[in-house]
Amino acid sequence: MTQAARDQFTRMFAPDGTVLLHPDRPQAKYRPLRAVRNFQILMKDKEDTVAVFKIFESLPSKDFLPRIAQLALSGKGEELRRTEAWLPEILDDHAALRRTPKGSLAHAYCDFMEAEGLSAAGLVAESERSGRPRFPDLVEWYINRSRDTHDMFHILTGYGRDALGEASVLLFTHGQQPSQGHLLIGYAGAANIKKMAKGTKAPVFGAVREAHRTGKGAPQLIAQPIRELLARPLAEVRAEMRIPEPEQYRECHRIWQAEGIDPHNLLASRKPVEPELLAA
């Protein structure tokens, strides 16, 4: 991005005076080798969230700022900033979320986060470990909102936290918010899964391609009123978001069960896997 184009974004403001791009925010640099190094780290430990953040920092999207401006400077964006200024506060209040009707997205979200030992605040802490400087601009709001809605994708799509599930969620997200980081982790991650599960007949690439297509066809979650979605029936939200069942992903799990492969530990020796574990 030229300096003149960048300067233009520093002169854009929301009605409340928040600048779109703070002039002191460093310009993102395209660093593919750094991205590959962090991808290798991530493949050794899929829980290394810091490596994920560094991958995205190293592969900035050319249309990132225009995309932020389109949402953040719109009437919808202004309303989201007014009503949902800090999503972790909403998402970690499980007592309030549990007061929604049974079968709601909120109940499914709480079930998922509690079963996995996760919290929105924990993801915030992980992102801060990456050392990324923070600035009082709309870019910061957009980055935070993208981070804080990540785990909701798991519930909405039906993809778990196994390696294939994470790769699928990231490619679904690419369909919503394109970046080379999503493509690298998603497709290179799928290739790594095929390598680890040697000889498997599971349609690994079919699963991630299905996720990619679904993400492209769904409305942007980041632009939705999250508080309102949480109160609604999960099935209704999925239908409105045009998110079908993850058939290829489930087929992979079915085949892995038959092959004696644990999707949460693809390097383990082949042995019968408990169905309850595969459903986790």
What is the per-residue pLDDT for 267? 62
What is the per-residue pLDDT for 52? 85
Kindly report the three-state secondary structure assignment for every residue of the chain.
CCHHHHHHHCCCECCCCCECCCCCCCCCCCCHHHHHHHHHHHHHCCCCHHHHHHHHHHCCCCCHHHHHHHHHCCHHHHHHHHHCCCHHHHHCCHHHHCCCCCCEHHHHHHHHHHHHCCCHHHHHHHHHHCCCCCCCCHHHHHHHHHHHCHHHHHHHHCCCCCHHHHHHHHHHHHHHCCCHHHHHHHHHHHHHHHHHCCCCCCCHHHHHHHHHHHHHHCCCHHHCCHHHHHCCEHHHHHHHCCCCCCHHHHHHHHHHHHHCCECCECCCCCCCCCHHHHCC
Residues 237/229, Cβ–Cβ less than 8 Å:
yes
Per-block average pLDDT, block size 10, for the chain (280 residues)? 84 95 91 90 81 86 92 95 95 98 98 96 88 92 94 96 94 91 91 91 97 96 96 98 97 96 75 44
| Of the candidates 176, 179, 178, the residue with the CA atom closest to the CA atom of residue 224 | 176
| Of the candidates 161, 252, 174, the residue with the CA atom closest to the CA atom of residue 217 | 174
Residues 238/154, Cβ–Cβ less than 8 Å:
no
Angle 275-277-280 (CA atoms, 0-180°, nearest 5)? 110
What is the per-residue pLDDT for 268? 59
Dist CA 112 CA 234 (whole Å): 13
| Of the candidates 176, 175, 196, 174, the residue with the CA atom closest to the CA atom of residue 185 | 174
Residues linked to residue 19 through DSSP beta bridges, in sequence order: 13
Dist CA 51 CA 34 (whole Å): 10
> pTM for the full model?
0.86
Residues 118/148, Cβ–Cβ less than 8 Å:
no
CA distances 259 to 166, 254, 276, Å, are 21, 9, 16
Residues 14/81, Cβ–Cβ less than 8 Å:
yes
What is the per-residue pLDDT for 270? 53
Q: State the burial class of residue 102 (Cβ atoms within 10 Å of its Cβ: 0-12, 13-18, 19+).
A: exposed
pLDDT digits (tens, 9 = 90+) for 45-78: 877 878 888 888 888 888 899 999 999 999 999 9
pLDDT digits (tens, 9 = 90+) for 175-216: 998 889 899 989 999 999 999 898 999 999 999 999 999 999
What is the per-residue pLDDT for 229? 97
Q: How many CB atoms lie within 10 A of CB 62?
A: 13
CA distances 56 to 137, 210, 274, Å, are 19, 22, 36
